[in-house]
Amino acid sequence: MAASSLSSAFPVAAATAAAGVRRVHRTSTPTSSSAPSRVRASFGGLSLDTGAGGGLSLDGRRRLGASRAVVDAAAESLAVDAPSSSTAGVDWEALDATIVNQTTLAILDKALEMFGDELAIAFSGAEDVALIQYAALTGRPFRVFSLDTGRLNPETYQLFDDVQKHFGINIEFTFPDEKAVVDLVNAKGMFSFFEDGHKECCGVRKVQPLRRKLKTLKAWVTGQRKDQSPGTRMAVPAVQVDPAFEGVEGGPGSLIKFNPLTNATSQEVWDFLRVMGTPVNALHANGYVSIGCAPCTRAVLPGQQEREGRWWWEDAAMKECGLHSGNMTADERAKQDAREATDEDIFVDGSVTALTRTGIEALNDEVVHPHTTLAVLYAPWCPFCQAMVGGFEEAAARLTARGVHVVKFRADADEKAWSQETLALASFPTLLLFPEGRRGFVKLGSERRDADSLDIFVNSIVGAAAAPVV
């Protein structure tokens, strides 16, 4: 990934990284807009200071036999551009189109160039530590913040300490509101999320503190990747106007969000961390991939999608696209109603047969199914249904050739309540298999909705008769 292209894309950063970059601090000179910034830094055994006039001085002694080349590389690395004075008028969609296919290092460097210390990197204590490593390689000063929910694993707290020492930084920790936590726990107990879902607890311990922290910033950096959402290929922009949170200036559009790892795979991130010798969470060695609070995180098995280790007691897709309309605000309800009013449809290539309520009801009521049927309960506005279109249509073509009927039923709007009661709908999309020679249905229990996984699902229930034709 970026490790292989580091020298060509950022030769100075590569040189300083090789010298063992520890910390860089920039202090602005307030007396004149044309005066250069003052930068102090240490690289390997060298302590460097540009001085108030911008000239480089050496205020320490060489150690470990540091060569003049290292001194020159360190000096050159200090000549980073000051952050842009204003981002007003930036076309963020156009900027995303420009940088989305650049390296992680280049995207993060651009973010730091534009916002300086008005931007901070969100660090969860998992593999997003790669963002901190990349930030160090840019040679620019950077800020890092973490949310301490009060229920993290001991290994995560240890990683926080290791990261601070390794990079010579101070992580800015944010904590939940004490009264909100006390009220929740006293009213519903320590483990209410096992009974009524994780969103309320996450709202108190994560979302509210995050919202409060972001209100002090103009931009932030996350570790989101396109390959993290199970069964989907949803777009994760390299940069975007944050659709959910507000920044220091307040109001919609006041916060910018950078996702430098958008195009990276988990394998590429881990290759980079290993090559760089970056501290990582000890839980990763025990099968943990996605790491959150201790009660809500567990190891995953080989071949499982990484997010399957989170909130595993809930229906898998509820992590992505839940249907708990009772928790919606009036504004959210209005937006939802508008989405459900759409006449646009999906799964329209001809490989999937549409059923009405009468059709799906008759299928469900069959005493013995005369043939095997795979059904998807969907909503055309749901992004997770949209993301599985290609895989489901491919599976439909394969299965139809083997005599399996593949159907769809739009289960939103007026059909939602009936589908929840009769067809075990909890979230979109829901996949049901009605096996030949049996009554009722089997519900797909994972988030894996690609063609191969659906083949496995069908094969495991109806046996060799549904084996793929070679």
The three-state secondary structure class of 239 is strand
Same domain, yes or no, for 246 and 189?
Answer: yes
Residues 6+ apart with CB under 8 A from 352: 376, 392, 393, 396, 406, 407, 408
pLDDT of residue 86: 65
Q: What tens digit of pLDDT does each residue of 445-457 get?
A: 877 888 888 988 8
Residue 465 has pLDDT above 60, yes or no: no
**Total number of domains constituting the chain:** 2
Q: Based on the fold, state whether residues 260 and 409 are members of the same structural domain.
A: no
Question: Which tokens hold the place of 202?
Answer: 């996450």
Is the pLDDT reported for residue 2 higher than 70? no
Residue 43, token pair as written in the block: 């690289």
Q: At residue 10, does pLDDT exceed 70?
A: no
Whether 46 is covered by a domain: the verdict is: no
Q: Are residues 155 and 113 in the same domain?
A: yes
pTM of the model: 0.54
Residue 411: helix, strand or coil by DSSP? coil
Instruction: Look up residue 15 and give its amino acid.
Output: A
Alpha-carbon distance of 146 to 120, in angstroms, equals 10
The verdict on residue 64 lying in a domain is no
Q: Are residues 303 and 249 in the same domain?
A: yes
Domain contains 250: yes
Residue 49 inside a domain? The answer is no
Active-site choice (202, 293, 296, 382): 382
Residues 253 and 346 in one domain: no
Give 21's contacts (C-beta < 8 A, 6+ positions apart): 41, 43, 77, 136, 137, 139
pLDDT digits (tens, 9 = 90+) for 371-417: 999 999 999 988 889 889 999 999 999 999 999 999 999 999 899 99
pLDDT of residue 367 exceeding 50, the answer is yes
CATH number of domain containing 431: 3.40.30.10
Apex 430 CA angle, 425 and 434, nearest 5:
95
pLDDT of 139 reads: 92
* Count of alpha carbons within 13 angstroms of residue 98, beta-carbon side: 9
Indicate the range of 181-185, 209-213, 312-316 predicted with least confidence: 312-316
* Claim to verify: residue 300 and residue 189 sit in the same structural domain: yes
Q: Is 293 a catalytic residue?
A: no
Same domain, 127 and 168: yes
C-alpha distances out from residue 420 to 37, 316, 336, 428, Å: 61, 15, 17, 11
Both ends of the chain: CA-CA distance in Å? Answer: 36
Q: How confident is the model at residue 333 (pLDDT cuts 50, 70, 90)?
A: low
Q: Is 382 a catalytic residue?
A: yes
135 and 206 housed in the same domain: yes
Instruction: Flag whether 48 is in a domain.
Output: no
Q: Residue 229 pLDDT > 90, yes or no?
A: no
Distance CA 455, CA 388 (A): 14
Hey, which residues does 256 pair with through a beta bridge?
219, 241
**Domain stop point among 285, 318, 351:** 318
> pLDDT tens digits for 50-93?
333 333 333 332 222 333 343 344 444 444 444 544 677 899 99
* Distance separating alpha carbons of residues 240 and 92, to the nearest angstrom: 6
For residue 74, is it within any domain? no
Structural domain contains residue 17? no
Backbone angles phi, psi at 277, to 5 degrees: 65, 35
* Judgement on whether residues 227 and 115 belong to the same structural domain of the protein: yes
Domain match, 364 and 424 both: yes
Question: Can you give the residue range of the structural domain that contains 346?
Answer: 342-462
Strand-by-strand arrangement of the 119-122 sheet: 172-174, 144-147, 119-122, 219-221, 256-258, 239-241
pLDDT tens-digit series, residues 255-266: 999 999 999 988
**465 vs 320, residue with greater confidence:** 465
Task: Report the SS3 class of residue 238.
Answer: coil
Which residue has tokens 């006039």?
A: 53
Residues 468/452, Cβ–Cβ less than 8 Å: no
Q: Is residue 67 part of a domain?
A: no
The mean predicted confidence, pLDDT, of the chain is 77
Residues 289 and 365 in one domain: no
- Nearest by Cα to 121 from 221, 219, 210: 221
Among 286, 318, 350, residue at a domain's last position: 318
CATH number at residue 310: 3.40.50.620
* Helix (H) or strand (E) segment spanning residue 417: helix 416-422
Q: Do 311 and 371 belong together in one domain?
A: no
Helices 154-167 & 129-138 angle (0-180, nearest 10):
10
Q: What is the mean pLDDT of the segment spanning 125-147?
A: 92
